Amino acid sequence: MTSAFLAILKRDLALASRAGGGGELALVFFLTIVVLVPFALGPDLNLLSRIGPAILWLGALLSMLIGLDRLFQGDEEDGSLDLIRASVLPLELAVLAKGLAHWLTTGLPLALAAPLLGLLVALPGEAMLPVAATLLVGTPALSFIGAGAAALTAGLRRGGLILPVLVAPLTVPVLIFGVSAANAALGGTIPFATPFLILCALSLAAIVVGTLAAAAALRHSA
């Protein structure tokens, strides 16, 4: 059973790294959003620096949605999902493996790239680590909330269109606590730990709920 779990994880990581895997698209999209915001707000570094954590969080959130529709759709289209259903592995664990692979190939790189992109919005040096840390613990929630929705739309041809509409409202709490933790690190009345721990809790809950929901949706999808 462990080997089946690892096999799914390994395969998804391999697919993301091969040509056409789209593993790097989320990063490019992240960069694009961070570049677009100053065009709308103006190049005032003081302003950008103040809202930097918010820009980075919004950018990361939207980037996580890119390609999320392919999480199960690709497997559904080519029949791999039937193979996964026939596996000795419970469907929940298969979803967990796929969600983990999604996070490793999108959430983790986004969190690691965030300090670098923080330079573009003049994020103060002392805020870089906290922003990266909040993204590191917050993005798993996005991966798994997304996995639940992606499982629902796996069989739909136009699932890519409906997915962001389904996922975005569910990510509101993650966004709120992610940004307030990052802002708390910049100074303010709330200590950093309070929103940060709530963010951790949201991620853990999302992993459980998202996995169960996705497995239930996949079990009788066709």
Partner 1 sequence: MASLIDLANPTRFMRYSAVLLPWLAGLSAVSLVVGFYLAWFVAPADYQQGETIRIMFVHVPAAWLAMMFYTMMTLSSLGTLVWRHPLADVAQKTAAPIGAAFALICLLTGAFWGKPMWGTYWVWDARLTSMLVLLLIYLGIMALWRTLDEPSQAGRAVAILTLVGFVNVPIIKFSVDWWNTLHQPASVLRLDGPTIHASMLWPLLILAVGFTLMALVLHLVSMRAEIMRRRVRTLTILEAERLDRLAAEGAPA
Partner 2 sequence: MTPFSFPSLVLAADNLACRRGGRLIFADLSFRLAPGEAIALTGRNGAGKSSLLAMLCGRLRPEAGSIRVEGAADVAVVELSHVVGHRDGLKTALTAQENLVFAQALLGDAALSPVEALAKVGLPHVAALPVGYLSAGQRRRVALARLLVARRPFWLLDEPMAALDVAAQAMLSGLMREHLAQGGAILAATHGPLGLDGVREVRIGP
Give min distance, CB of 101 to partner 2, in A: 13
Residue burial 118-142, b: 16+ Cβ < 10 Å; e: rest: bebbbbeeebbebbbbbbbbbbbbb
User: Does residue 112 interact with partner 1 by CB under 8 A?
Assistant: no
Give CA angle at 140 (139, 142), nearest 5°.
Answer: 65
| Residue 8 interaction partner, one of partner 1, partner 2, none, beta carbon < 5-8 Å per kind | partner 2
- Per CB under 8 A, the segment of 2-10, 23-31, 70-78, 160-168 that binds partner 1 is 23-31
Among 1, 6, 14, 28, binds partner 1 (CB under 8 A): 28
**Residue 164 near residue 65, CB atoms below 8 Å:** yes
Looking at the Cβ atoms of 24 and 82, the one nearer to partner 1 is 24
Give min distance, CB of 123 to partner 1, in A: 10
- Per CB under 8 A, the segment of 3-11, 16-24, 92-100, 170-178 that binds partner 1 is 16-24
- How far is the C-alpha of 97 from the C-alpha of 103, rounded, in Å? 10
